[in-house]
A and B are shown apart, each in its own frame.
Chain A
Amino acid sequence: MNKGLVARLQLAGSYGFLVTLLVIVVFPFYWMTVTSFKGEEQMRSLVSMFWPSPVVTDNYRHLLGKTEFVAWFGNSVIVSISSTFLATAIGTIGAYALARLKFLGRAFMSSAVLITYLVPPAILFIPLYAQIRTLGLADSLGGLIVAYPSFTIPFVTWLLMGYFESIPVELEEAAMIDGATRFGAFRRVILPLAAPGVLAAGLYAFTQSWNEFLYALVFITDVKLRTLPVGLSTFITGDVYGWGYLMAGAVLTTLPVIAAYVYLQKYMVEGLTAGSVKG
């Protein structure tokens, strides 16, 4: 076999692999969207499986009018945005301290933050629930807003420590020689340079909070206070009609995250992989 043929076969194999993977990755989202526009009759009769005919919006009308979906969407927005701001603010200054400032206990605290990031929620959710109850925040959005930073802050801090360390110390020193205080140098020199990292960390914290399920399931009992992932999971009824508005809800829950991802892909990819490979 000549080399050109081998190379071409290899390339064909590569594209074949990618296209197969693409179909497997995209199909569930395609299927959820198609289902959300199907009528009950069509779903039951298994006709025109892969395209809604006729296209109906009943599922969305039912979802928005007859369920608590709108309230859940609002809850998710409130919880995700508040906890993201909280985590990003606290994580940013914490990361700066651990990356740049010299003080006793810094090395120990860096390790503690990293280990906290690695402790899985599945072993923390029961005692954390007890703690949230002690704080008087059980069955309230406040409980989730306070609890989510417990996993987003360690990540934000870890990501931004790497970021701050990559900014040359000389920039800060120059600002301080020019009369800036340490805090002034941080605010006017370092923070603007770290803005892309802060954005990546914030986006990551937002998706993590938006997608969180276990704490929201355990901490919230009031139906009206549920967040989207938990609310949607309560739609599982086994009934045909249920699937229509469940999938409509799935579409609307996925959209904000995917929209953010499409617009800010560069930053998000950075945030998503930084936990392991940012060197």
Chain B
Amino acid sequence: MSISTAELGAKSALGPKREGPLVWLARMLGPDHRLGYLFILPTIVLVLVLVAYPFCYAIYLSLTRKYVGVPPVFVGFDNYVKLTFDGFFQRAVINSFIFTFGSVAVKLVLGMVMALVLTSGIRFRSFWTGVLLIPWVAPTVVSALNFLWIFDYSLGVLNYMLVKVFHLLPQGVGWLSEPGTAMASVIGVNIWRGFPFFGISFLAGLRAIPAEMYEAAAVDGAGPLLRFRHVTLPGIRNILIIVMLLSTIWTFNDFQIVYILTRGGPGGATQVLPVFTYEIAFGAQRLGEAIAVALYMLPALAAVIIVLARYMRQGRGRA
């Protein structure tokens, strides 16, 4: 409304050839700017209030000494420097990497096999897909609690099967209470929950590869391995990269599974960064330090996010 009156005003005062500043502004803002800004405004407000501002505040807090209920004291990079030489923190970083890469590698292989099997002339494909996706849909906390019960030392069904049913072990294993098995167990649960996402994404990618490409490769004498290497992999390259990077971010920041199953124990054997952050913030009440833990990996995370965002936009055809 304001634009059309401005336009009229401009025309009557300055003649038809020259444009008023408001018209120029309207042109700058684009033809749909009124509805556009109206529609995007709620999202902008929400992102600013709930993500952007807290994020900037977090960066500031990580440069302070801050306890709950006491005003922050600026200390520069002290928190980060202290963390660098903190044995518990170093251990959490190493554990996070083991947890993430161990889990992502297995999810990748399982997901790939799942997708290949589901495109290989299997019957009832939608049944298999539907059932195999359940761990991804079900509440993660519930699944973690299920596994806590399955892994239970004296009454858990896993030890019962290994000892009493299949006689594979003379006695049960404290899956979550022994340092040797705890990490493998939490990784196992993360794989269980996450592999369907890999499988279903790869499946969608495989089905987009034209059958003629495989036929042409077969005519050229390429065996199954060569066809996988030269037709399948290039065909799903983008999806492969996107899924791997997405899963790396999610797994690195997975809080629930470790929190429910071990709380980082036994003796820090499964302590990962998100749980460590939580413990320092709400156990030790040292907020500045806790945020520094959370943000320590920010440069690496930002790099992954930028690469990933580029691939995701490419997938939509507007890189």
How far, in angstroms, from A26 to B192 measured CA to CA in the complex?
11
In the complex the two chains form, what is the Cα distance from A128 to B46 in whole Å?
A: 12
The majority secondary structure among interface residues of chain A is: helix
Is A177 in contact with chain B by the CB < 8 A criterion?
A: no
Question: Which chain A residue shows the least CB distance to B272?
Answer: A122
A123 at the interface (CB under 8 A from B): yes
B105 is an interface residue with CB less than 8 A from chain A: no
Please indicate the chain A residues that have their CB under 8 angstroms from the CB of B239 in the complex.
276-277
Contacts of A14 in B (CB 8 A): 117, 120, 122
Consensus secondary structure, chain B interface: helix
Report yes or no: B139 in contact with A253, Cβ–Cβ below 8 A. Answer: yes
CB distance from A31 to the nearest CB of B (A): 6
Q: Count of B residues near A, CB < 8 Å?
A: 103
Within 8 A of A (CB), among B208-253: 208, 239, 242-243, 246, 249-250, 252-253
Q: List A contacts of B53 (CB < 8 A).
A: 131
A79-96 residues with Cβ-Cβ distance < 8 A to B are 90-91, 93-94, 96
Contacts of B148 in A (CB 8 A): 236
Q: CA separation between A103 and B309, bound complex, in Å?
A: 22
As a 0/1 sequence over residues 36 to 54 of chain B, the CB contacts with chain A under 8 angstroms (1 = contact) are 1111101110110111011
Given A22-B128, A115-B305, A275-B246, the answer on whether A210 and B139 have CB atoms closer than 8 Å is yes
Residues of B within 8 A of A171 (CB): none
Which of A53-61, A190-198, A242-250 binds B?
Answer: A242-250
- The answer to whether A131 touches B137, judged by C-beta atoms less than 8 angstroms apart, is no
B residues near A64, Cβ cutoff 8 Å: none
| Contact B137 A272, beta carbon cutoff 8 Å | yes
Give complex CA distance A130, B71 in Å: 13
Nearest Cβ on chain B to A141's Cβ, whole angstroms: 16
Give A270 Cβ to nearest chain B Cβ, in Å.
10
User: 8 Å CB contacts to A: which residues of B144-183?
Assistant: 145-150, 152, 155, 157, 160, 164
6 shortest interchain CB distances as A-B pairs: A127-B54, A103-B36, A101-B32, A120-B253, A97-B39, A101-B36
Instruction: Taking A97-B40, A100-B32, A161-B316 as given, write out 14 further A-B residue pairs in contact, using a Cβ cutoff of 8 Å, ordered by the A residue number.
Output: A26-B131, A31-B146, A31-B149, A104-B33, A124-B51, A127-B291, A131-B54, A149-B46, A213-B141, A230-B141, A250-B142, A258-B138, A269-B129, A269-B133
